[in-house]
Structures are given as structure tokens and as C-alpha cells.
Amino acid sequence: MTREAVEKPPLQWVNFLFLTISPLVAVIGSIWYGLNYGFQPMEWVFFVLFMWFTGISITGGYHRLWSHKTHKAHFVVRLFYAFFGACSVQNSVFHWASDHRNHHKYVDDWDKDPYSAKRGFFFSHIGWIYRKYSAGTDDFSNIKDLLKDPILRFQDKYYVPLAIFSNVALPLGIGYIVPGCDPIGMLLLSGFVRLVLNHHFTFFINSLAHIWGTQPYSDKDTSRDNPILSLVTYGEGYHNFHHRFQSDYRNGLNWYDFDPSKWTIFLLSKIGLASGLKRTSKHKIEVAIADMQFEKALSKIDNEHHSFEEITTQLKEKYNEYITILEAHYASKKEWLIAKKEDCLSSVEISALRERYLELKENFRIERLNWNQLVATAA
């Protein structure tokens, strides 16, 4: 029997109706209200704030803080993430993190990955929520660390009231209280429109980020890096990097990569509201990039070419030379920094280590240029 022929699990009617009706209300209601009354500037301000609060609570909180433990956060930050995470209506942290850890553990597995991209765009984007597949169960054996958090226990217990209050009562209340706002306008913009956009921007990480983009760090799964996708996913579009180095608090490696979640976590650390930020060493990242370049260069060589064996042998030799120089560079840097920090050697010896490091750094720079040129022209 084929996988397609297996009977599908029953619909989760609450999820199905909610994810179907909310977009209709958002589109029809906002168009009707906009044409008849018009949205006020302050309503747009709160729309942006709600978008930011809920989006960053998912990416910075649900994802990087709780699912992957990439850093630690102050009580106030965790409270904020828990509240506006409930406002995003993507289930409690317990369910979300459990599903996501299974996604990483069994990535692309047809049955065990809750939102496997191998089952198609629709399934990984939203279909997995419609039916009672493996996701959404109450098996929290993979999040025992999170079960100890009183904030998360409270959020899980009162998730539905929190979701209703934050999506309905709070926008309506702001609309009544704040000058320049209307309750219905606030409910439509900061409630329904924001909610639908927030949903699908997050869902893009499970679907498009496994379909559209490049794989500079690993091709062992379907994850992709896509700077364009990062613009609407709060920096989560650098998904290939994330899957290769999931304990790193960054998704966008470079400072200029659009990753608001990374910037937020970093800023929180500077004001004492986050700590223990985990970063993957440049050494490991360089090795991962080199490995992928090597594999891609090998795959481009036509095995019918009369010099196939000779070309592949030369490429392997160059790869080994490059990795040797790379390892030597980072080892010398580590040795120098440790000696400098611990002050266990004389100034002359430390200076000698520094000179060796700078020499190897220049050798590595030249070798990396040569290596990049070689793999770029491999055919």
C-alpha cells in the first residue's frame, strides 16, 4: 500500500475552522472597514507593535530560547514571550517546542517529522495542523527541561483564556482607551489581520524555508538559506545554517544579515535581560562550508570525463591542503588567545605566538581565495 493510499487521520475541526475563518474575517472585514471608515494612524502603530511582539515571541522565545536553549532570558522576558506567544495562537510552548524538537530530530522523515517537507508544501505549511498526525500530542518526554518552568506551566494551563484575552479583549480595550483608535479597527488590524500574517509568516519557515534557497552548510536535509524569506520571518530564513548549527542564537551569521531575532537577543544581553548566548565557532562554520563546497565540486565533475580520476584526486588533495591550513590557523589563534588570557607565558613568548597566528591567518586568507576559485571553476 502506498503512503498516499493510507487513510488520513481525522480532521481537527477546531484548527481547521479557525485557520479557515480567521483569514476570511481578516480580508473581508478589513476591506469593508477600510472602505467605510478607514484605519487611523494609531491603529497602524498598534498593528506594527502587535506584529513585532507576537513574531519575536515565536522566533526569539518559542524557537531560540525554549526549543533550542540558545540563551537564557530574564523572568520578565520569559513572561513577555509566554503572553505574546499565546497571542500568536500557535499552541502553548509545550506543544510547539515538543513538535519542533521532533522536527529537528527526525527532519524530513515522512512519519516522524511533524511537518516534513518531503510531504509537500501544503502539508509542511499548514496541512499538518489540520489533521491529528503525530504532532500536537501530549507526549512531552522530549521537553522535560521545559516542564519545570512555572511560567510555561501557567501558559499551558491557561493557554485558551490567554489567547482569547490577548487577541480579542486587549485590542478592543486599547481601541476604547487610546485616543485615535477605534475598537473595531483595532480588533481587525491588531487582532485578525495581524494574526493571519503572523501565522503564515511562521508557517513559511516550515514550508518555503525547506524548498526555496541555497545550502551552503549542509545538504543532509531539505533546509535552505533564503535572505528574502528572512524579511518576513524575523530572520528565520537562514534555515540551512540553523539546521546545521541549531544551538546558535543566530540564524543570520553575518552582522548585516537581516535577523531581528538575533539583534533582539543580543541587545537584551547588553542590558542584562539575556545571558549565555551560544555561538558556533568560526572554525566549525568554515569546515562546514568547505565540506559543502567540496561535495558540490565533486558532483559537478562528469564521471564520463576521460580525466575523471585525475581531476577528483587533485580536488581531494587541494581539499585536504585547505583543511590542514584552516585547522592550523584556528589552532594558532586559540593557542595565542589562551596564552594571552591566562598570562602564563612571557611577553616575548606571547608575542611569538601572535606573530605565528598572524602569519597563518594570512596563509589561510590566500588559501581560501585559491580554494574558492578552484571550486567555482570545477567542472
| 91: nearest Cα among 148, 26, 25, 19 | 19
The answer to whether residues 115 and 137 belong to one domain is yes
Instruction: Write out the residue range of the structural domain in which residue 325 sits.
Output: 282-377
Please state, for a pLDDT cut of 90, what percent of the chain lies above it.
Answer: 67
The answer to whether residues 132 and 262 belong to one domain is yes
Cβ atoms within 10 A of the Cβ of 139, count?
Answer: 10
Distance CA(339)–CA(341), nearest Å, equals: 6
With a cut of 70, say whether residue 5 has pLDDT above it. Answer: no
- Would you give the DSSP letter of residue 61? I
| 185: nearest Cα among 43, 32, 23 | 43
- Relative orientation angle of helices 347-377 and 308-342, to the nearest 10 degrees: 160
For 83-126, write each residue's pLDDT tens digit: 999 999 999 999 999 999 999 999 999 889 999 999 999 999 99
The answer to whether residues 15 and 154 belong to one domain is yes
Residue identified by cell 584526486 is 313
| 226: nearest Cα among 101, 328, 218, 216 | 216
The answer to whether residues 260 and 290 belong to one domain is no
How high is the pLDDT of residue 1? Answer: 36
Residue identified by cell 507593535 is 49
Neighbouring-strand partners of residue 275? 72
The answer to whether residues 288 and 268 belong to one domain is no
The answer to whether residues 218 and 330 belong to one domain is no
Q: Which of 250, 275, 300 is the last residue of a domain?
A: 275
- Would you give the DSSP letter of residue 208? G
In this prediction the pTM is: 0.89
Question: Measured over all CA atoms, what is the biggest interatomic distance in the chain, rounded to whole angstroms?
Answer: 78
The answer to whether residues 118 and 228 belong to one domain is yes
* 47-63: average pLDDT: 97
The answer to whether residues 264 and 366 belong to one domain is no
Distance CA(141)–CA(290), nearest Å, equals: 37
Look up residue 226 and give its amino acid: N
- Would you give the DSSP letter of residue 246? T
| 99: nearest Cα among 202, 252, 218, 240 | 202
Helix (H, G, I), strand (E, B) or coil at 12: coil
How high is the pLDDT of residue 304? Answer: 53
For 246-283, write each residue's pLDDT tens digit: 999 999 999 899 999 999 999 999 999 999 999 999 98
Split at pLDDT 50, 70, 90, the class of 213 is very high
Q: List all residues 6 or more positions away from 122 whose beta carbon is below 8 Å from its beta carbon.
A: none
How high is the pLDDT of residue 379? Answer: 55
Q: Which of 275, 308, 324 is the last residue of a domain?
A: 275
Task: Give the number of domains in the chain.
Answer: 2
Distance CA(249)–CA(6), nearest Å, equals: 39
Split at pLDDT 50, 70, 90, the class of 212 is very high
Residue identified by cell 489540520 is 130
How high is the pLDDT of residue 137? Answer: 60
Residue identified by cell 476570511 is 24
Q: Which of 246, 275, 304 is the last residue of a domain?
A: 275
Between 110-114, 236-240, 350-354, the lowest mean confidence (pLDDT) is in 350-354
| 202: nearest Cα among 69, 55, 12 | 55
Distance CA(289)–CA(368), nearest Å, equals: 11
How high is the pLDDT of residue 349? Answer: 82
How high is the pLDDT of residue 139? Answer: 80
The answer to whether residues 345 and 330 belong to one domain is yes
Distance CA(352)–CA(81), nearest Å, equals: 49
* Beta carbons of 73 and 65 less than 8 angstroms apart: yes
The answer to whether residues 246 and 99 belong to one domain is yes
- Would you give the DSSP letter of residue 14? H
| 237: nearest Cα among 204, 263, 283, 276 | 204
Distance CA(280)–CA(296), nearest Å, equals: 23
Neighbouring-strand partners of residue 274? 73
Distance CA(230)–CA(209), nearest Å, equals: 9
With a cut of 60, say whether residue 160 has pLDDT above it. Answer: yes
For 310-346, write each residue's pLDDT tens digit: 778 888 888 888 888 888 888 888 888 888 777 777 7
The answer to whether residues 49 and 127 belong to one domain is yes
How high is the pLDDT of residue 71? Answer: 97
Distance CA(256)–CA(56), nearest Å, equals: 18
- Relative orientation angle of helices 194-206 and 13-36, to the nearest 10 degrees: 130
State the average pLDDT for the chain: 90
- Which helix (H) or strand (E) covers residue 202, if one does? helix 194-206
The answer to whether residues 183 and 45 belong to one domain is yes
